[in-house]
């Protein structure tokens, strides 16, 4: 990925396909000149933060390609802190490509994926966490994901990190002053004072590290499989959870012979719902393949909804499943509460899992099931923390590195090692946190991050 930012780049910033309006973006020192070259603005150039209707022409032939709304943002008051021009054309792919060709002919270069955001980062407009949040905002599949990404793009996580780094820098400066000016009667911190100043830094990072599970859940989503023996109402429950008739429902055992998958969301978390074949002994080769696939799902799913028929006594297959799934993340769903009940609570075995009674047919209890599943996933805490969640592996790795370095520093304090040794680990922790926000040592990761962006952003 090019990192030179002296040239002027251009890209179509709206998705491919037909639309009412398509936006082309220019950024760089020559953005205004290039835009004026294709807009025919002789003697009436573009004004800062002013939108004008202009005819877009080929620079060499003067052929009119389209009429467009052209807006100029003078540096540094723009997203990239460079001169930026946005051209709003009609959204025909043919027109957009023609206008792009005219801009390239006038001296622009085609932007690479994420290069606009990269320039904003290199010019100091945003930090690395905010840059990643812009990508997450573009890729958000739920409103809650978008809200968290927007908060991070506005600097919520960065603001949370700032006082942590300030505490760490203060401790480092005090220790270094005690070493460098020992002959000038500068006080030297004792072990207890160092521990007291380390504690809030460690506590803040531990909270962020623990929150990574919820943040990762929010960004990556989960897989929830509906499992159980035949004829307990799995497919009916699956359809009710999705609010659509996605799986075939029939009283004949073994109707579902393959895993049926559907994507939806639960409280803002992307969920891949899976309806599975009923688990039972079967001589039908096709049904046995479906049962084998169900057992694969049991191993791979993040959460299981084990469905039991509340209108009948426990079966041997129920008991085997309860025993088999005892150690997995599971929720017991007692279905068919619209019928006389014969399955008592004490017959559910010693599995440690929430129990919810529902009628998949009437919908009774299903909303409670959704709520229990959300509580099991810790979604309430995720909502509370919002944009302060650590949502990707790179961020978690940097925080983990800082935590390890701080633990080494704490160990050095306990062993009463020289302050020079403690400082080595404190500086290592600070470097890791600086890499989190991109203040230092980020050359090796810039390409990896920004190449995942879409072109034009």
Q: What is the rounded distance in angstroms from the CA atom of residue 21 to the CA atom of residue 218?
A: 32
- Better-predicted residue by pLDDT, 309 or 385: 309
Q: SS3 of 11, please?
A: strand
- Is the per-residue pLDDT at 3 higher than 60? no
Q: Helix (H) and strand (E) counts for the chain?
A: 16, 12
Q: What is the rounded distance in angstroms from the CA atom of residue 13 to the CA atom of residue 134?
A: 14
Q: What is the rounded distance in angstroms from the CA atom of residue 367 to the CA atom of residue 364?
A: 8
- Better-predicted residue by pLDDT, 457 or 200: 200
Q: SS3 of 69, please?
A: strand
Say what percent of the chain tops pLDDT 70: 81
Q: What is the rounded distance in angstroms from the CA atom of residue 401 to the CA atom of residue 371?
A: 36
Q: Where are the domains of the chain?
A: 9-127, 134-211+390-438, 219-382
Whether residue 69 contacts residue 106, with contact meaning beta carbons closer than 8 Å, is answered with: no
Domains 134-211+390-438 and 219-382 share a fold: no
Hey, what CATH class is 9-127 in? alpha beta
- Is the per-residue pLDDT at 230 higher than 90? no
Residue 138's pLDDT band, with cuts at 50, 70 and 90, is confident
Q: What is the rounded distance in angstroms from the CA atom of residue 150 to the CA atom of residue 136?
A: 9
Question: Read out DSSP for 113-145?
Answer: TTHHHHHHHHTTSS-HHHHHHHHHHHH--SHHH
pLDDT of residue 36: 92
pLDDT of residue 63: 92
pTM assigned to the model: 0.69
| Residue-wise pLDDT tens digits, 245-287 | 654 444 544 444 467 888 888 877 888 888 887 665 555 555 5
CATH homologous superfamily, domain 219-382: P-loop containing nucleotide triphosphate hydrolases (3.40.50.300)
Kindly indicate whether the domain formed by 134-211+390-438 is annotated with CATH number 1.20.120.430: yes
Q: SS3 of 272, please?
A: strand
In the block, residue with structure tokens 């008592």: 344
357 has which bridge partners?
A: 334
What is the largest distance, in Å, between two alpha-carbon atoms of the chain?
89
């Amino acid at each position: 990925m090019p990192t030179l930012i002296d040239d002027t780049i251009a890209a179509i910033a709206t998705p491919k396909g037909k639309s009412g309006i398509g936006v082309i973006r220019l950024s760089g020192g020559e953005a205004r000149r290039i835009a004026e070259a294709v807009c025919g603005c002789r003697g009436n150039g573009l004004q800062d933060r002013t939108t004008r209707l202009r005819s877009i022409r080929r620079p060499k032939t003067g052929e009119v390609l389209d009429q467009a709304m052209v807006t100029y943002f003078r540096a540094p008051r723009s997203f990239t802190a460079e001169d930026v021009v946005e051209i709003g054309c009609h959204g025909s792919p043919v027109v957009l490509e023609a206008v792009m060709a005219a801009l390239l002919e006038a001296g622009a270069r085609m932007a690479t994926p994420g290069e606009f955001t990269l320039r904003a980062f290199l010019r100091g407009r945003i930090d690395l966490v905010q840059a990643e949040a812009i990508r997450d905002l573009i890729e958000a599949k739920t409103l809650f994901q978008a809200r968290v990404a927007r908060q991070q793009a506005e600097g919520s996580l960065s603001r949370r990190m700032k006082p942590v780094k300030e505490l760490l820098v203060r401790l480092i400066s005090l220790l270094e002053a005690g070493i460098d000016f020992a002959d000038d009667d500068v006080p030297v911190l004792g072990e207890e004072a160092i521990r007291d100043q380390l504690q809030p830094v460690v506590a803040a990072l531990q909270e962020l590290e623990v929150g990574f599970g919820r943040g990762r859940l929010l960004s990556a989503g989960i897989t929830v499989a509906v499992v159980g023996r035949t004829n307990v109402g799995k497919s009916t429950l699956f359809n009710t959870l999705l609010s659509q008739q996605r799986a075939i429902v029939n009283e004949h055992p073994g109707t579902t012979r393959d895993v049926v998958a559907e994507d939806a969301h639960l409280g803002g978390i992307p969920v891949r719902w899976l309806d599975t074949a009923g688990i039972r002994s079967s001589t039908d080769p096709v049904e046995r393949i479906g049962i084998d696939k169900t057992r694969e799902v049991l191993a791979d799913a993040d959460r299981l909804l084990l469905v039991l028929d509340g209108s009948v006594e426990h079966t041997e297959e129920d008991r085997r499943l309860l025993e088999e799934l005892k150690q997995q993340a599971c929720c017991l769903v007692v279905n068919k509460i619209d019928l006389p009940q014969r399955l008592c609570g004490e017959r559910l075995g010693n599995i440690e899992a929430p129990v919810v009674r529902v009628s998949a047919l009437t919908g009774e209890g299903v909303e409670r099931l959704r709520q229990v599943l959300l509580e099991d996933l810790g979604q309430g805490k995720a909502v509370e923390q919002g944009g302060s969640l650590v949502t990707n592996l790179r961020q978690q790795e940097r925080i983990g590195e800082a935590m390890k370095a701080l633990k080494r520093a704490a160990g050095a304090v306990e062993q009463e090692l020289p302050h020079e040794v403690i400082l080595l680990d404190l500086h290592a922790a600070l470097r890791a946190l600086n890499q989190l926000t991109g203040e230092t040592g980020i050359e090796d990761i810039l390409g990896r991050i920004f190449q995942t962006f879409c072109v034009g952003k």
